[in-house]
Amino acid sequence: MKWHGWSSPQCLARRVEQSLEAQARASHSYSSTSTSRCSHNIHRPCQPSFRRPFTHTPRRPARPPAEDPSFTSVLDNPPELVRTGRRHGPGLLVLAVIPVTAFALGTWQVQRLGWKTELVARFEDRIVREPLPLPPRVDPDAIHDFDYRRVRARGKYRHDREMLVGPRMRDGEQGYMVITPLEREGGEGSTVLVNRGWISKKHKSQRDRPDSLDTGEVVVEGLLREPWKKNMFTPDNRPDKGEFYFPDVKQMAELTGSQAVWIEQTMEPDLLQAIDMESKGIPIGRPAEVNLRNNHAQYIFTWYGLAIATSIMFYMVVKKPPTDISRRVRLNKEWS
């Protein structure tokens, strides 16, 4: 068997011997270098080595927690289920104010109901009495004590000073109230204003209703009423154009030279008479009754019902259980 090149056994053994000799020489040189270094540093003081410790935590002996006398388990102090975050916002304060306000308004309406009931009873007592002859001079300050009092007056209508107040609706038809001064025998200053009643819009002109223009002496029976009060939605009267939107008694009295006394003529025509009067343009007077609005009982039920409903809502909001999202566990503060 033939060996070629360095792969013969003799060559391989020679290379191994050379490698071992090189390692021996290298080891001898390293040991001599270390000895010389130590001989040079033998007179130097040894400096301490500052190494950073891995941890400063002192080691404690392993001891089971149950052997500690101060140990408290979860069974001794269980956690408490609470709601976290803001429990209620400012809306709860508003919800708390609503029932209190509604209850106060309902109580106020109870007082208003008593006052209105007494007022209507007093007016109805005046209506059932016999008509009172109207004196020539009437004190405007005393009209308040005779409001809704039936009176009787005699005189002649001044149709040349007639005024129409409107528009006013009656049975779905538009029209006007006819205001005519009544000139009495008491002399100058005894004239009063009479609300004769309602006429249709088509009879606005006096030429279209000649039957309504009485020229002789008439007897008027009606209710003595206080002057009307204008609300904020009613426009101002325009006497220069003959347009009156509400009965301003003082203004009308100055325009006609009469007393600031307002009488509403009363009548109770049947259906056929009312139709005949409307077709002829004769003013249809009002019935002798008290027409004051008295809806305070409805307001009482409304406000008290609102107070009860909002109180129930307030209770439900306060006592509402927490949702799954807002549930949190709070540890007992007595844990050691």
147-199 tens-digit pLDDT? 999 999 999 999 999 999 989 999 889 999 999 999 998 777 789 999 999 99
DSSP E strands in the chain: the ranges are 80-83, 132-133, 149-157, 163-170, 173-183, 192-200, 218-225, 262-265, 327-330
| pLDDT band per the 50, 70, 90 thresholds, residue 60 | low
Measuring CA to CA, which residue among 277, 187, 182, 257 is closest to residue 224? Answer: 182
| Gap between the Cα atoms of 336 and 237, Å rounded | 86
| pLDDT band per the 50, 70, 90 thresholds, residue 46 | very low
| pLDDT band per the 50, 70, 90 thresholds, residue 48 | very low
Report for 51-55, 87-91, 241-245: range of highest mean pLDDT: 241-245
274-322 tens-digit pLDDT? 999 999 999 999 998 988 888 899 999 999 999 999 999 888 888 876 5
71-103 tens-digit pLDDT? 666 666 666 655 555 566 677 788 889 999 999
Distance of CA 258 to the CA centre of its chain: 48
pLDDT (average), residues 20-30: 66
Measuring CA to CA, which residue among 150, 165, 132, 148 is closest to residue 225? Answer: 148
The reply to whether the predicted model has a pTM over 0.85 is no
| pLDDT band per the 50, 70, 90 thresholds, residue 16 | low
String of DSSP letters for 89-143: -HHHHHHHHHHHHHHHHHHHHHHHHHHHHHHHHHHHHHHTSPPEEPPSS--GGGG
pLDDT at 56 over 60: no
| pLDDT band per the 50, 70, 90 thresholds, residue 224 | very high
pLDDT at 123 over 60: yes
